[in-house]
């Protein structure tokens, strides 16, 4: 009797398992449920809380006021609009400042100044752009060598050398740069030999130190996608272009580089996003004039105790990141 009951139960279980396997929606739910739970609890829920906080106000003792009379866009207004300006006037001052900041020549469109938060945001974007350009200039030739010129037996070893810094802690690598750029280091002592450079030279707490840190930390994210793209290129296209009269440079510009564009776009996004939102690198390597939007956000959640403004700044930075991803997709990239 007991054996019959066990067989019936096993038959029911086997039948249930077969039904679950045949139903693709049930399988999808079972497979996605753990990941969805993790993302919902540890990503979406905190993000939703921050979104609500960004519409609140800071209380007298640092608490977040979320009563109906305190809900509004005042944090975003404080971030974008200078004091004593109307909405249209503040927008004009901000846009004019951005145009003045972006143009390579001097022009005066307004006597006003954008808010310090907007200036810090665009300074962070500038750091991200410069770090991306430098990473491309340095990383593309390395990726080209890895993907096309390197002997096949050494290729895997060279790729390992590119990712080797990731085997060390992020902070350890930053402290290594500190030692390299500080006074009386090997680098500064070597530079002190040059005329016009003092013996007590220190490159720490400068914009150069921040840019060096950004490029050093994130350049593998430029090299690896470009390397993957170049490795897939059929170089007989270059030979065909040269047979049709193009020289090596023209063949590279018109054939090879366009074919490697997906890797360049992916690498640019992967370098720009963490560079523009960096916190640790400017905190440890930069000075008072090298702070970025990430440091502002950390200060608002920390010493300043203004969580609503910190949350609003976080969502502004997130908007910049989403725009960069949109530009990547529009440029022909594909998000995996």
**What are the CB-based long-range contacts (under 8 Å, 24+) for 125-128?**
125/276, 125/320, 127/210, 127/211, 127/214, 127/275, 127/276, 127/278, 127/282, 127/292, 128/214, 128/271, 128/272, 128/273, 128/275, 128/276, 128/277
Pair 61, 210 in one domain: no
Residue 104 tokens, joined: 């390579």
Residue 22 tokens, joined: 């045949």
Pair 210, 147 in one domain: yes
Do 328 and 322 form a contact (C-beta atoms < 8 A)? Answer: no
Residue 198's pLDDT is: 63
Tell whether 180 is covered by a domain: yes
Tell whether 2 is covered by a domain: no
With a CB cutoff of 8 Å and minimum separation 6, the contacts of 129 are 272
Do 171 and 252 form a contact (C-beta atoms < 8 A)? Answer: no
Pair 62, 186 in one domain: no
Tell whether 101 is covered by a domain: no
Pair 41, 127 in one domain: no
Q: In angstroms, rounded to a whole number, what is the distance separating the alpha carbons of residues 85 and 243?
A: 64
Pair 202, 322 in one domain: yes
Q: In angstroms, rounded to a whole number, what is the distance separating the alpha carbons of residues 147 and 328?
A: 23
Tell whether 68 is covered by a domain: yes
Tell whether 83 is covered by a domain: no
Tell whether 80 is covered by a domain: no
Residue 203 tokens, joined: 């490159």
Single out the residue of 319, 321, 130 nearest to residue 214, CA to CA: 130
Residue 97's pLDDT is: 78
Residue 185's pLDDT is: 79
3-state helix, strand, coil in the chain (%, to 5): 75, 0, 25
Pair 70, 119 in one domain: no
Q: In angstroms, rounded to a whole number, what is the distance separating the alpha carbons of residues 229 and 257?
A: 10
- Give the position of tokens 């090299």: 223
Q: Is 22 exposed, middle or buried (0-12, 13-18, 19+ CB in 10 A)?
A: exposed
Pair 33, 157 in one domain: no
> What SS3 state is found at 92?
helix
Q: In angstroms, rounded to a whole number, what is the distance separating the alpha carbons of residues 128 and 311?
A: 21
With a CB cutoff of 8 Å and minimum separation 6, the contacts of 295 are 279, 282, 283
Residue 131: which domain range? 115-331
The structural domain count of the chain equals: 2
Residue 257's pLDDT is: 93
Domain C-terminal end among 19, 53, 74: 74
Pair 121, 70 in one domain: no
**Residue-level pLDDT, tens digit, the chain, 336 residues:** 445 555 555 555 676 667 666 666 776 777 788 888 999 999 999 999 999 999 999 988 888 889 888 899 999 988 988 877 777 777 788 788 777 777 766 777 777 778 889 989 999 999 999 999 999 999 999 999 999 888 888 889 999 999 998 899 999 999 999 888 887 777 777 777 777 666 667 788 888 899 999 999 999 999 999 999 999 999 899 989 998 888 989 999 999 999 999 999 999 999 999 999 999 999 999 888 888 999 999 999 988 889 999 999 999 999 999 998 888 887 665 544
Tell whether 42 is covered by a domain: yes
Pair 186, 283 in one domain: yes
Pair 30, 136 in one domain: no
Domain C-terminal end among 74, 92, 123: 74
Q: Is 114 exposed, middle or buried (0-12, 13-18, 19+ CB in 10 A)?
A: buried
Pair 59, 131 in one domain: no
Do 78 and 296 form a contact (C-beta atoms < 8 A)? Answer: no
Residue 276's pLDDT is: 94
Tell whether 103 is covered by a domain: no
C-alpha dihedral sign at 156, 254, 215, 225:
negative
Domain C-terminal end among 43, 74, 105: 74
Query: What pairs with residue 65 in β-bridges?
Result: 57
Pair 33, 173 in one domain: no
- The CA–CA distances, whole Å, from 261 to 213, 229, 256, 264, 287 equal 25, 8, 9, 5, 36
User: What's the whole-model pTM score?
Assistant: 0.84
Residue 31's pLDDT is: 75
């Amino acid at each position: 009797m007991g054996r019959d009951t066990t067989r019936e139960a096993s038959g029911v279980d086997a039948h249930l398992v077969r039904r679950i396997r045949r139903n693709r929606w049930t399988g999808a739910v079972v497979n996605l449920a753990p990941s969805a739970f993790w993302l919902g609890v540890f990503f979406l829920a905190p993000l939703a809380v921050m979104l609500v906080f960004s519409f609140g106000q800071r209380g007298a003792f640092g608490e977040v006021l979320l009563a109906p009379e305190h809900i509004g866009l005042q944090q975003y207004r404080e971030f974008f609009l200078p004091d004593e300006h109307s909405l249209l006037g503040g927008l004009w001052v901000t846009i004019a400042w951005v145009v003045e900041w972006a143009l390579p020549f001097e022009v005066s469109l307004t006597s006003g100044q954008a808010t310090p938060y907007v200036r810090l945001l665009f300074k962070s974007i500038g750091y991200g752009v410069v770090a991306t350009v430098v990473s491309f200039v340095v990383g593309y030739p390395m990726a080209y060598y890895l993907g096309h010129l390197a002997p096949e037996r050494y290729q895997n070893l060279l790729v390992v050398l590119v990712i080797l810094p990731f085997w060390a802690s992020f902070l350890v690598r930053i402290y290594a740069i500190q030692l390299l750029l500080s006074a009386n280091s090997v680098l500064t002592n070597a530079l002190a030999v040059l005329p016009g450079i003092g013996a007590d030279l220190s490159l720490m707490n400068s914009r150069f130190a921040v840019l060096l840190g950004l490029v050093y930390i994130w350049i593998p994210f430029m090299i690896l996608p470009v390397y993957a793209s170049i490795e897939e290129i059929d170089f007989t296209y270059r030979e065909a272009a040269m047979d049709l009269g193009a020289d090596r440079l023209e063949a590279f510009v018109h054939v090879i580089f366009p074919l490697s564009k997906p890797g360049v776009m992916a690498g640019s996004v992967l370098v720009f996003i963490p560079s523009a939102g960096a916190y640790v690198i400017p905190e440890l390597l930069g000075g008072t004039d090298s702070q970025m939007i990430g440091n502002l956000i950390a200060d608002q959640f920390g010493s300043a105790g203004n969580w609503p403004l910190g949350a609003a700044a976080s969502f502004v930075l997130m908007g910049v990141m989403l725009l960069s991803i949109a530009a990547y997709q529009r440029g022909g990239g594909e998000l995996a």
